[in-house]
Amino acid sequence: MQDHLVRAVSQDGLLRGMVAVTTGLVKDICEKQQTDFTATVALGRLLTGGALLGCLLKGKQRLALVMEGNGPLGRLGVETDARGRVRGTIRNPVAGLPPKDGRYDVAGAVGKAGFLHVWKDLGLKEPYQSMVQLQSSEIAEDLAWYLTSSEQVPSSVSLGVELDATGRVAAAGGILIQALPPGDEQQVERIIEQLQQMSPVTSLLRQGSAPTEILQKIFAGVESQGLTKIPLQFYCPCSPEQIAGVLRSLGKAELQRLAKEREEVAVTCEYCRKRYLLTSEQVLALLK
């Protein structure tokens, strides 16, 4: 099943739902980042959450999520846009933590103390910025808390990454349900009850259920409209020009030192791991 996301709004406009399958996306990015089992689950959840939040954007708008806790993973970052293009990175890809209560210890790997930072480029002069304290460090609850407290939209977020016996990603996906103003309390309660009775999203995906079918199960008894399908893919816009800009930001003295000490300077993109090589002459040329 190709990675994609589906979204729909209830006929009365009081409920919005999104379901995504991100198996290939998570597998590809975690292989690039060389994550261990726990780090794969953690980064995979944030990647899926980013894809879900990205579908709320329009046009050329972009979104960045950064989760930074006091656990061994350090900083996790995800960038996405309205077109379903996603990339992600992690500071320390090896959590080195054993399972806890039969589950990967994502909260321990992220760290119980820390913050979720959200940046949105909405095409305005200044980007929108928000920061919330981590609630559970399980990622889904933290994103739900951000949406509910900062954006004032009551939200339910479910994120899953399932690994096979070798540690490879077998299934990944997520669900985002939002109650839109003025809200219908009874309708929300019915949806919550249906979500609680459903199997985890990764189990449904492994059984062959498509995101459209999962969304229809969640919206059972609720008339919906505007079903939209958005393909999801890894995308990194890094380029020689961008790398040159990063090097220029080091300052004149540092560039002169690099050019003097090394015949070649290597810069690796933290997202796609592509390696850029510049000669000492090219580094000096940046000073001009």
Look at residue 193 in the predicted model and tell me its pLDDT.
83
**226 & 250 share domain:** no
Number of domains in the chain: 2
Number of Cβ atoms within 10 Å of the Cβ of 132? 17
**191 & 264 share domain:** no
Residue 180 identity: L
**154 & 245 share domain:** no
Residues 6+ apart with CB under 8 A from 104: 37, 38, 41, 42
**159 & 140 share domain:** yes
Look at residue 16 in the predicted model and tell me its pLDDT.
94
**181 & 251 share domain:** no
Q: Which of 192, 218, 234 is the last residue of a domain?
A: 234
**112 & 248 share domain:** no
**96 & 176 share domain:** yes
Residue 246 identity: V
Q: Which residues of the chain have pLDDT under 50?
A: none
HEC profile of the chain: CCCEEEEEEECCCCEEEEEEECHHHHHHHHHHHCCCHHHHHHHHHHHHHHHHHHCCCCCCCEEEEEEEECCCCCEEEEEEECCCEEEEEECCCCCCCCCECCECCHHHHHCCCEEEEEEEECCCCCCEEEEEECCCCCCHHHHHHHHHHCCCCCEEEEEEEEECCCCCEEEEEEEEEEECCCCCHHHHHHHHHHHHHCCCHHHHHHCCCCHHHHHHHHCCCCCEEEEEEEECEECCCCCHHHHHHHHHCCCHHHHHHHHHHCCEEEEECCCCCCEEEEEHHHHHHCCC
pTM for the model: 0.94
Look at residue 169 in the predicted model and tell me its pLDDT.
97
Asked if 62 contacts 81 with a C-beta cutoff of 8 angstroms, the reply is yes
Distance, in Å, from the CA atom of 202 to the CA atom of 219, rounded to the nearest integer, reads 18
Look at residue 93 in the predicted model and tell me its pLDDT.
97
Here the CATH number for the domain that contains residue 120 is: 3.55.30.10
Instruction: List own/partner pairs for 187-192 with CB under 8 A and 24 or more apart.
Output: 187/10, 187/14, 187/15, 187/222, 188/15, 188/154, 190/221, 190/222, 191/15, 191/156, 191/218, 191/219, 191/222, 192/156
**197 & 67 share domain:** yes
Look at residue 286 in the predicted model and tell me its pLDDT.
86
Look at residue 224 in the predicted model and tell me its pLDDT.
85
Here the CATH number for the domain that contains residue 257 is: 3.90.1280.10
Q: Which of 234, 250, 274 is the last residue of a domain?
A: 234
Residues paired with 126 in a beta bridge: none
Look at residue 187 in the predicted model and tell me its pLDDT.
79
Give the residue from 71, 45, 53 showing the smallest Cα distance to 16: 53
Domain coverage including residue 271: 240-285
**75 & 206 share domain:** yes
Task: From residue 81, give the alpha-carbon distance in Å to each of 74, 167, 218.
Answer: 24, 29, 25
In tens, the pLDDT along 176-217 reads: 999 998 877 777 788 888 888 899 999 999 999 999 999 999
Look at residue 186 in the predicted model and tell me its pLDDT.
78
**207 & 267 share domain:** no
**122 & 223 share domain:** yes
**209 & 254 share domain:** no
